Amino acid sequence: MNLKVGFIGMGIMGVPMSLNILKGGYQLRVCNRSADKCAPLIREGAGKADTPKELAEWADVVILMLTGPEAVQETLDGEHGLLAGMASGKTLINMSTVSPAFAKELNQQLSRRSLFFIDAPVSGSKKPAEDGALVILAGGLPEKIDEFEPLLLKMGKKVVRCGQAGQGSAMKMTVNLLLGIMMEGLCESVNFGERCGLSAETIMDTILSGAMNCPLFALKQDMMKTGNFPPQFPLKHITKDLRFILNVADETGAAVPAGHAVFQLYRQGMGKGLSDSDFAAVKTILEKISD
Amino acid sequence: MNLKVGFIGMGIMGVPMSLNILKGGYQLRVCNRSADKCAPLIREGAGKADTPKELAEWADVVILMLTGPEAVQETLDGEHGLLAGMASGKTLINMSTVSPAFAKELNQQLSRRSLFFIDAPVSGSKKPAEDGALVILAGGLPEKIDEFEPLLLKMGKKVVRCGQAGQGSAMKMTVNLLLGIMMEGLCESVNFGERCGLSAETIMDTILSGAMNCPLFALKQDMMKTGNFPPQFPLKHITKDLRFILNVADETGAAVPAGHAVFQLYRQGMGKGLSDSDFAAVKTILEKISD
Amino acid sequence: MNLKVGFIGMGIMGVPMSLNILKGGYQLRVCNRSADKCAPLIREGAGKADTPKELAEWADVVILMLTGPEAVQETLDGEHGLLAGMASGKTLINMSTVSPAFAKELNQQLSRRSLFFIDAPVSGSKKPAEDGALVILAGGLPEKIDEFEPLLLKMGKKVVRCGQAGQGSAMKMTVNLLLGIMMEGLCESVNFGERCGLSAETIMDTILSGAMNCPLFALKQDMMKTGNFPPQFPLKHITKDLRFILNVADETGAAVPAGHAVFQLYRQGMGKGLSDSDFAAVKTILEKISD
Amino acid sequence: MNLKVGFIGMGIMGVPMSLNILKGGYQLRVCNRSADKCAPLIREGAGKADTPKELAEWADVVILMLTGPEAVQETLDGEHGLLAGMASGKTLINMSTVSPAFAKELNQQLSRRSLFFIDAPVSGSKKPAEDGALVILAGGLPEKIDEFEPLLLKMGKKVVRCGQAGQGSAMKMTVNLLLGIMMEGLCESVNFGERCGLSAETIMDTILSGAMNCPLFALKQDMMKTGNFPPQFPLKHITKDLRFILNVADETGAAVPAGHAVFQLYRQGMGKGLSDSDFAAVKTILEKISD
């Protein structure tokens, strides 16, 4: 508990996740490119670092929760970057969504400097982040995952051991492929039913009474009924993830026919002003391309 | 409770459904083209009719649970058919999966003879049928649905009122479109993850820990791990349903891109000897078309 | 040349086709549901029959060029239908687009009455019909095809012998599957290039200079440049044909992934008011679903 | 004609292209990573350079015909690279297939060094390369394209002016998108017809008699009949091109539904040992996924 934790990335996910670390009794300092976004954490008693380097010098372990591989790499590199301040033997935990290949490469970069790396993206969005109920998909040395499991369990309800570094990110892709397909499938079915004269309300009621009932669909019930899509998981994020996924599938040779079909619809949403809507807004696209 | 119930169709679904009617205290007579399939019901005390006509003459209400529209029509027509024996004012409840158009037509056929019709397909397969936990998707006159709701609730845990005759079948299509997409999505994701080096076991464990956890996926967990697909809902049935669904979508103009994508895979399964496997065997097809 | 030819169906194709028969020196009587559409032929010297029955009583051979299987069946049946007037030993040539299954069934219907049947749909649209340059896809008894080849060659430049009755229609499906894919492919490519900043004019110029240069693309060059789509082959016809084709593929197990992809786009065109535009108007749909 | 031409890349295309330059009366030196592949040119009187740098020092203009962007960049960079030897004012013509973005970037790299750049990929494969009948898709400064047009016309029958640097590559993508779709469309249709009982021979005969008759299909006629696919344009190349194309479409927002459908099939061919077969071997994949 005397562990000094650095956390970089004060976004929609990073704020509640780091807050849960603080509440869990850890020493915490945070850092963000736009420094004002650190306010909610500082208000609760967290410290602040001006640069990733400064954070790395202080912390025993640094957690990243950023928008993607470019942001991760930028945070590492440069005069004020993480790598400039991180002494050998310390650990970096990347929880941002990146491709398995990038996670493997990151692991190699860090190994060469005698740093430890845990590839630990999460399954779950805003609500589970707030509740400390994320599922953490961890890849890396088993003893390091063991060592930091208590810390990870402040943010999540479960740590899934996926294998070596890169496998956590592979699991994240696997889960988000299903996520992208299921959400499109829900929207396609509701739209299909509506065109047969059924109401979205009755359809959702039926689905939530049967074998396909899941928290995801329950969460989107109102969106299906009202046609409003306040962002829980923005459409631009699933689009970016599916782009990664199709590339990984191309490399591994995995057939992803539904992945291709739904990617095209979300991508279309990007061009129709739905980037920042919840990804359930793909229903709007399905309505547009129906009669 | 003095209601005399006739039940035609002693298949994988019909046997447990009619058994629940019998246990529920109703007078029951059953009928099946291959008469020997009535044995489990007779053993429990049900009566038997040699022909649909004979059944119709005795019963107050007749329930059909057959393989599709052709079987339904055959049961109605001819010298020994239902219509030859059904006195005006009686009710037919069709629980077989048919297209909305067929259900509407059936309603018209029956109305012309002053018979009542409830279009009442079910959501759920073998297990919920045994447990009396089906979701019953009812279309027809509200007062008739009210009248027979206690009977229907012996077979199901819930009766969803979908609207007029045909709307029950439309709801069934809606639900099964989602079912076909979700199962293919699960298989596509698991296969994707396996090609990244993850085990089916860890993948299923992760999925069942998160927002996409649903009874359907829990039920298929072993199939994903073992690659054996004992039939709960045979692949040939989802293929037939998706064929109906694509036709209805064509008529109504609903866009069903994922529906088209997954139909092609299940259809391919039909040609690869998987007709009688569980529809989760679409995973085998995805493996074949991967590298 | 003393052959008496009856021709039913005075549409966009039937008028120029029958005109070429007349010019070819045959005795011709025509018939059409809306009798006024026979005018152009009567003006040129053709006779007229009030009903299919009357036409069948006079003619040695009757040719049908109608909108589809329903129209064909209606023309055959009933009190004033073809079958009521056709003496045994006479020949019916169906040039309307129908499914192979329908053509086979038609052959059986006619055989039972000792009538001969040639299944002879055409490849080519308005312009080749006017020029007598259609490609005629003939299925049926070889000796009957030989007998009527001189007549067929008034309408077309070539008679392809495809096999038995039904095989002509199968060839038509085969050709139109390619037609639907190629036209969508052209539109998809031109739209892709335009979004890269290229002009439709330069793109068409490039395509028509290379290995993909074909009369079809040359014919659509102006449509690609102007965005106007005056009907040569209406979008509703390719949509109907692709619907047939997907059904036949489903029956035979043929994989038609591009067929599914393009059907969905043409179908979408039907709902966006493009039914009567040339099928090249699928470009409009591709533009709509692009950013 | 006193122009000194350097040519790098002695592959299936580069050999006949550079041979046509030599026959056209130009001074030519060639260079290739595996130097022995230069033999056919040296035999005909061409000179040879040991490194790109050496070639660049001698030549007025250097032409690249390599396997892709990586090979192009390698040839430019390093101690013995092109850039190390190319004096300002000289011109580089890249005829290798690269993405429009790469071509633009190349143009900027060269401009910064006061070098000129023509982006000039080709439409056409082995046969037109031998016949000097390629279509050259040129992007760059109009005066530079004018200056080198006589040289380019030794290799091709036509130079299409596509716009600025990058637009040549965009045109190449546009043309190859259509190419990929048309070839798959041909194979899908022939396979469809064969499953209806028609012979590939009769089908090809019909197609080549109608509006879709094009040199591409004529060239593949024997492959369709025999099921042998000796490489004219290897399947791995169209797969690589379609991968580029889908990425560009993703960037520009162009809808490429048939592109996605056919990419998946060619990609599948890569995993089934067809990489080095002609891309018409996608017919084999379609057969595999049919019943």
C207·D178 Cβ contact <8 A: yes
The region, left, alpha or beta by phi > 0 then psi within -120 to 50, assigned to residue A78 is left
- pLDDT of D291 > 90? The answer is no
The region, left, alpha or beta by phi > 0 then psi within -120 to 50, assigned to residue C89 is left
Q: What is the pLDDT of residues A234-287, one digit of tens each?
A: 999 999 999 999 999 999 999 999 999 999 999 999 999 999 999 999 999 999
Number of C-beta neighbours around residue C87 at 10 A = 11
C195·D253 Cβ contact <8 A: yes
User: Is the interface score ipTM higher than 0.90?
Assistant: yes
Chains interfacing with C (3 or more CB pairs < 8 Å): A, B, D
| Average pLDDT value over all residues in chain C | 96
Query: Which pLDDT score is estimated for B126?
Result: 87
Residue in C closest to B242 by C-alpha: C250
Residue C76, both tokens: 């055959």
Mean pLDDT of A75-98: 96
Counting Cα atoms < 13 Å in the Cβ hemisphere of A109 gives 16
Query: Which pLDDT score is estimated for D125?
Result: 86
Enzyme catalytic residues of A: 172
Tens of pLDDT along chain B (291 residues)? 589 999 999 998 999 999 999 999 999 999 999 999 999 999 999 999 999 999 999 999 999 999 999 999 999 999 999 999 999 999 999 999 999 999 999 999 999 999 999 999 999 988 899 999 999 999 999 999 999 999 999 999 999 999 999 999 999 999 999 999 999 999 999 999 999 999 999 999 999 999 999 999 999 999 999 999 999 899 999 999 999 999 999 999 999 999 999 999 999 999 999 999 999 999 999 999 998
Q: What is the pLDDT of residues D169-196, one digit of tens each?
A: 999 999 999 999 999 999 999 999 999 9
- pLDDT of A1 > 60? The answer is no
Q: Pick from A68, A67, A248, A269: which is nearest to A184 by CA? A: A269
Mean pLDDT of A84-105: 96
| Residue from the list B268, B271, B289 with its beta carbon closest to the beta carbon of D268 | B289
* B172 is annotated as an active-site residue: yes
Query: Which pLDDT score is estimated for C274?
Result: 97
Q: pLDDT category, C173, cuts 50, 70, 90?
A: very high
User: Is-contact B47 B104, C-beta < 8 A?
Assistant: no
Beta-bridge partners for B117: B92
Q: What is the pLDDT of residues A48-73, one digit of tens each?
A: 999 999 999 999 999 999 999 999 99
Stated pTM of the model: 0.94
Kindly list the residues from chain C whose CB atom is less than 8 angstroms away from the CB atom of residue A270. 291
Q: What is the pLDDT of residues C93-130, one digit of tens each?
A: 999 999 999 999 999 999 999 999 999 999 998 889 99
* Residue found by looking up tokens 């050259």 in the block: D136
B237/D62 Cα distance (integer angstroms)? 63
C289·A290 Cβ contact <8 A: no
A197·B171 Cβ contact <8 A: no
C272·A291 Cβ contact <8 A: yes
User: Is-contact D117 D94, C-beta < 8 A?
Assistant: yes
Query: Which pLDDT score is estimated for A291?
Result: 79
Q: What is the pLDDT of residues C17-31, one digit of tens each?
A: 999 999 999 999 999
C164/C105 Cα distance (integer angstroms)? 12
User: Is-contact C262 C241, C-beta < 8 A?
Assistant: no
A148/C146 Cα distance (integer angstroms)? 85
Kindly list the residues from chain B whose CB atom is less than 8 angstroms away from the CB atom of residue D289. 268, 289
User: Is-contact A91 A63, C-beta < 8 A?
Assistant: no
B47/B42 Cα distance (integer angstroms)? 6
Query: Which pLDDT score is estimated for C27?
Result: 97
A44/A38 Cα distance (integer angstroms)? 10
Listed in sequence order, the residues at least 6 apart from D109 whose beta carbon sits closer than 8 Å to its beta carbon are D76, D83
D290·B271 Cβ contact <8 A: yes
Beta strand B156-163 with B134-139 is parallel
% of chain C exceeding 90 in pLDDT: 97
Query: Which pLDDT score is estimated for D2?
Result: 81
Q: What is the pLDDT of residues C70-100, one digit of tens each?
A: 999 999 999 999 999 999 999 999 999 999 9
Query: Which pLDDT score is estimated for B206?
Result: 97
- pLDDT of D22 > 60? The answer is yes
Kindly list the residues from chain B whose CB atom is less than 8 angstroms away from the CB atom of residue A254. 191-192, 195-196, 290-291
| Chain Cα centroid distance, residue D137 | 10
| Residue from the list C162, C174, C189 with its beta carbon closest to the beta carbon of D178 | C189
Q: pLDDT category, A128, cuts 50, 70, 90?
A: very high
Listed in sequence order, the residues at least 6 apart from D139 whose beta carbon sits closer than 8 Å to its beta carbon are D103, D118, D119, D120, D162, D163, D164, D165, D166, D167, D168, D169, D170, D171
Kindly list the residues from chain A whose CB atom is less than 8 angstroms away from the CB atom of residue B253. 195, 290-291
Beta-bridge partners for A61: A5, A91
Residue D24, both tokens: 């056209």
Counting Cα atoms < 13 Å in the Cβ hemisphere of D168 gives 32
Using the Cα atoms of residue A129, residue A135, residue A140 and residue A144 in order, give the sign of their dihedral. positive
Query: Which pLDDT score is estimated for C79?
Result: 94
D19/D6 Cα distance (integer angstroms)? 12
Beta-bridge partners for D136: D122, D159
C-alpha separations of A175 from B159, B221, D115 in Å: 33, 15, 49
| Structural domains in chain C, sorted by start | 4-163 (3.40.50.720), 170-289 (1.10.1040.10)
Query: Which pLDDT score is estimated for B119?
Result: 97
D211·C214 Cβ contact <8 A: yes
- pLDDT of C1 > 70? The answer is no
Active-site choice (C104, C172, C236, C283): C172
Query: Which pLDDT score is estimated for D1?
Result: 58
Q: What is the pLDDT of residues C232-275, one digit of tens each?
A: 899 999 999 999 999 999 999 999 999 999 999 999 999 999 99
Mean pLDDT of A157-173: 97
Mean pLDDT of D241-246: 96
What size, in residues, is chain C?
291
Q: What is the pLDDT of residues D121-153, one digit of tens each?
A: 999 988 899 999 999 999 999 999 999 999 999
- pLDDT of A207 > 80? The answer is yes
- Among C256, C260, C274, most B C-beta atoms within 10 A, so best to mutate, is C260
Interface contacts (B, C; CB < 8 Å): 21
Kindly list the residues from chain D whose CB atom is less than 8 angstroms away from the CB atom of residue A267. 250, 253
Mean pLDDT of C164-173: 97
**DSSP secondary structure letter of residue C109:** H
| Residue from the list D250, D261, D268 with its beta carbon closest to the beta carbon of A267 | D250
